[in-house]
A and B are shown apart, each in its own frame.
Chain A
Amino acid sequence: MLALAWKNLIRRPLRTLLTVTGLAVALALLVSIISFGEGYQRGLRRELDAMGMQMMLVPLGCPYDAAARVLKGRSLDSSLPESALDAARSDPDVALAAPIFAATMPRPAEGRTDLWVGVDETAQRMRPWWKLTAGSSFFQGEDSVLLGSEAAATELRKPGDRFYSPETGRSFRVCGVLERSGTSDDSQFFVPLATAQAMFKQPGRLTGIAIRLKDPARLKDASDRLQQVKGAQVVTVTEMIGVFLNLVGAARALIMAIAVITITISALSVFNTIMAGALERGREIGILRAIGFSRTDIFRLVAVESLALSLLGGALGTILAVIAGGMVESLARSYLPLASEVNLPPLTLSAVMQCLLLVLIVGLTAGCYPAYHASRQSPAQALRGD
């Protein structure tokens, strides 16, 4: 039966190919979107969980934008006074308050922008994934610089080397190099907080403060109190995740809508192909009925054709998604906050399963009417001339 259905499909190879390709493209799009969404969400949570922080103190303004920028290590137009750090550290519920001063340094000659991040010794405790390579140590003086693994690779520096920054006229000593962590830390330059502030001529200013509480259950009280700090506002991690997901969600909804439309069109195209095939073979089906194929047999024959066509589209779509997945990933990394800190799997199993299920539904619904129509064909049709 399957062989019979298959032979009917390849009878019109071009029509079949076009239908399958259309469905495959639509599915690849959908699989990629679902996979990406799942991977991004999971990665984001893992990352923020690892930091063990519950909130951030950021300058007044759009809090989410600020949080995103700080987390991504971008500079901020506005800043916090260092007094906010004292306020945070003196709060009874705060276990750890880690100041961050982040600034970008354009390097037109090299065609890139470096990220300089000023931190103090709390940085290490806030980022448990940091591992120093052999011969490395944490800051040993004002002129220490700690390089992310990628930054070290591009600058060709190892621990103990000198490092000159022509833009600021400063000379550093590489105190250490971080092992690759797959986060945005890999490409950053970490320097002591005061050094960063001096380099960018913003003494006493901070871009943000990451806060870990002694008891996460006291989040509400602590955030209410810290909200009172002058020039600062509180963003909780939960809020951040929500906002990032919304941000991604808006873009996703659009692409999702496109994918749904394409799949609907592909389903219509499957319907059209199967229906045309069934109509073309009117007399052939009559003959099958005459020689003993029951209505159910005919229904099954046409339905199997539709399913085979759709599954073919599904299989091709999955392959396309694997190929395209890499591209989607790199594109997304450059546009989404935190995406670069997340290891995005190109495809998730559940996304593939969801889409294969969808393909089955498409195949069944698109094939249902043509199959029914064909099964109603009278066997007497076999005797009629053309």
Chain B
Amino acid sequence: MIGQGSIVRAENLRKIYRRGAEDVVAVDNVSFEVAPGEFLAIVGPSGAGKSTLLQLIGVMDNPTSGKMSIAGSEVSGLSDAARTRLRRETIGFVFQHFGLLPTLTVAENIGLPLLLSRERSRDRVEFLLERVGLAHRRNHRPAELSGGEMQRVAIARALVNQPRFLLADEPTGNLDSVNSAAILRLFQELRQDGLTIIAVTHNEEFARSADRRLTLRDGKVVS
């Protein structure tokens, strides 16, 4: 039986993309759950549907069928506005391409989600700058940073609203092994602090350090 305390719970999730005449079943009947504090790695070959599944977990998209609940409440079928609020308040996103705004400084990028809330927490940005070890870079632009540093900025930004869980799509996909190792270490530290993490990865070392792995193939969970 699926526990009530799970942060993410998916039941028979299915996502079908309509591409011209043919339908692509990107996610096919996927069920799983993630407990609080768990570090889950989603692995599988290219085109297996990992990113699509992450979009569903991240309430960026509605599933074609099936149920998704986050922190105990059902999210499939929510309005765009409600999904946006959910993303803002409960989920931290980390992308393969970092997704920083090139025009903003490190500190401004980290504080970006705070633009939308009344409270202007300077302290929170400062705290996170220290946390990811980039306090000395706060006024630099992304173009002046290494890939590893950019990803640390992105992680700090993902954490600024104190999300319930972190969602990462190949966070080390654009990094060399040294920087990958540093990001992995940061994830492990966050996991130690009690953060729930769901990450899609091709990096074997990364997957091995997770509590559990979910392997997808052709949209289906194979293990």
Binding site for B on A (CB under 8 A): 1, 4, 7-8, 10-11, 283-284, 287-295, 297, 378-380, 382-386
Q: B93 and A7: CB pair below 8 A? A: no
Q: Could you say which of A4, A288, A383 contacts B169, with CB atoms under 8 Å apart?
A: A383
Q: Is there an interface contact between B84 and A380, defined as CB atoms closer than 8 Å?
A: no
Q: Can you name 27 A-B residue pairings with CB atoms under 8 Å?
A: A4-B103, A7-B103, A8-B103, A10-B103, A11-B102, A283-B97, A287-B95, A287-B99, A291-B93, A291-B113, A292-B84, A292-B85, A292-B113, A292-B161, A294-B84, A294-B116, A295-B84, A379-B61, A379-B87, A380-B55, A382-B95, A383-B55, A383-B60, A383-B95, A384-B51, A385-B96, A386-B97
Interface 0/1 of B34-61, CB less than 8 Å to A: 0000000000000000010011001011
Cβ contact within 8 Å between B101 and A284: yes
Residues in chain A near residue B99, CB distance under 8 A:
283-284, 287, 290-291, 382
Contact at A291–B80, with CB atoms within 8 Å? no
Which residues of A lie under 8 Å from residue B158 when comparing CB positions? 291
Using Cβ atoms and an 8 Å threshold, which residues of chain B touch A380?
55, 60-61
Q: Is the interface of A mostly helix, strand, loop or mixed?
A: helix
Which residues on the A side are within 8 Å of B169 (C-beta)? 383
Q: Are A379 and B161 in touch, CB under 8 angstroms? A: no
Q: Is B126 an interface residue (CB 8 A)?
A: no
Q: Collect the chain B residues with CB atoms within 8 Å of residue A379's CB.
A: 58, 60-61, 84, 87
* B160 CB to nearest chain A CB (Å): 9
Residues of A within 8 A of B81 (CB): 294-295
Task: Please state if B93 and A290 are interface contacts (CB–CB under 8 Å).
Answer: yes
Interchain CB contact under 8 A, A1 and B60: no
Q: Given A380-B55, A383-B51, A290 and B60 touching (CB < 8 A)?
A: yes
What 6 A-B pairs come out closest when comparing CB atoms? A292-B88, A7-B103, A287-B99, A379-B60, A294-B84, A380-B60
Question: B13: shortest Cβ distance to chain A, in Å?
Answer: 15
6 new A-B contacts, CB < 8 A, other than A290-B95, A382-B60, A382-B93, are A4-B115, A283-B99, A284-B101, A287-B99, A379-B84, A382-B95
Write out the residue numbers on chain B whose beta carbons fall within 8 Å of the beta carbon of A384.
Answer: 51
Known contacts: A292-B84, A292-B87. The answer to whether A383 contacts B116 by CB under 8 A is: no
> Which residues does chain A contribute within 8 Å of B96, judged by CB atoms?
383, 385
From 169 to 195 in chain B, residues with beta carbon under 8 angstroms from any chain A beta carbon are 169
Q: Is the CB of A297 within 8 A of B116?
A: yes
List, in ascending order, chain A residues with CB within 8 A of B87's CB: 290-292, 379
CB distance from B55 to the nearest CB of A (A): 5
Please name all residues of chain B whose beta carbon is closer than 8 Å to the beta carbon of A294 when the two chains form the complex.
80-81, 84-85, 116
Looking at the assembled complex, report how far the CB atom of A59 sits from the nearest CB atom of chain B, in whole angstroms. Answer: 72
Q: Which residues of B contact A1 (CB under 8 A)?
A: 115
| A-side contacts of B30, CB under 8 Å | none
Residues of B contacting A284 in the complex (Cβ-Cβ under 8 angstroms)? 99, 101
- Beta-carbon contact of B61 and A378 below 8 Å: yes
B200 (CB) vs chain A CBs: closest residue: A383
Contact A383 B54 (CB under 8 A): yes
**How distant is B174 from chain A, measured CB to nearest CB, in Å?**
10
When chains A and B are docked, how far (Å) is the Cα of A7 from the Cα of B104? Answer: 8
Closest chain-A Cβ to B175's Cβ sits at a distance in Å of 15
Q: A4-B115, A383-B169 are in contact. Are A291 and B157 (CB under 8 A)?
A: yes
Residue among B84, B96, B102, B161 having the largest count of chain A Cβ atoms under 10 Å: B84
CB <8 Å contact, B103 and A11: yes
Q: How far is the CA of A7 from the CA of B142 in the complex (A)?
A: 14
Could you tell me the distance in whole angstroms from the C-beta of A377 to the nearest C-beta in chain B?
11
B135 within 8 A of A: no
Query: Which residues of B from 95 to 117 have beta carbons under 8 Å from A?
Result: 95-97, 99, 101-104, 112-113, 115-116
Residues of A within 8 A of B102 (CB): 11
Residue of B nearest to A294 (CB): B84
B131 to chain A, nearest CB (A): 18
Q: Is B218 an interface residue (CB 8 A)?
A: no
> Is B11 an interface position by the 8 A CB rule?
no
